[in-house]
Amino acid sequence: MTNEVQLILEKTADGDEKKKWVPAYYFFICDLNGNRMGKCDLRIGYNDNLYYGGHIGYTVFPEYRGNHYAAQACLLLFELARKHDMEYLYITCNTDNDASKKTCEYVGGQLLEIAELSKGNNMRARGEYEKCIYKVEI
């Protein structure tokens, strides 16, 4: 796949052990001229929360969807994850998000399960009850 995107760092975040948050990078997904087409993030490390929340999050703005920009961004994030000695990543999505499921499969993700979120999971407050859990060996 020809890469038509670049990632421009927006910010970083330190981890917080008490909240079980790991350090993270936040990027704008941009075309090669720097025009913003979406956002993505990469969480560094491993903990139980990341199984359900995923290591990678992404959104492509509606006018740019359908061009594999999220997949291209994921491939760039994989390179960064490797620099942090990560060997695999979880990418999760809602069960009704067909576009995200296709992106996960396109970048080599293997569906591990469709998992019900526990009652204490903070994603339930956003109306999310199940997640498709994909694992990508990088």
- C-alpha–C-alpha distance, residues 43 and 24, integer Å: 4
**Residues, the chain, total?**
138
User: Is residue 128 very low, low, confident or very high in pLDDT (cuts 50, 70, 90)?
Assistant: confident
Model pLDDT for residues 75-93, shown as the tens digit of each residue: 999 999 999 999 999 999 9
pTM: 0.93
- Cα 65 to its chain centre, rounded Å, is 16
Domains of the chain: 5-137 (3.40.630.30)
Q: Are the beta carbons of 53 and 65 closer than 8 angstroms?
A: no
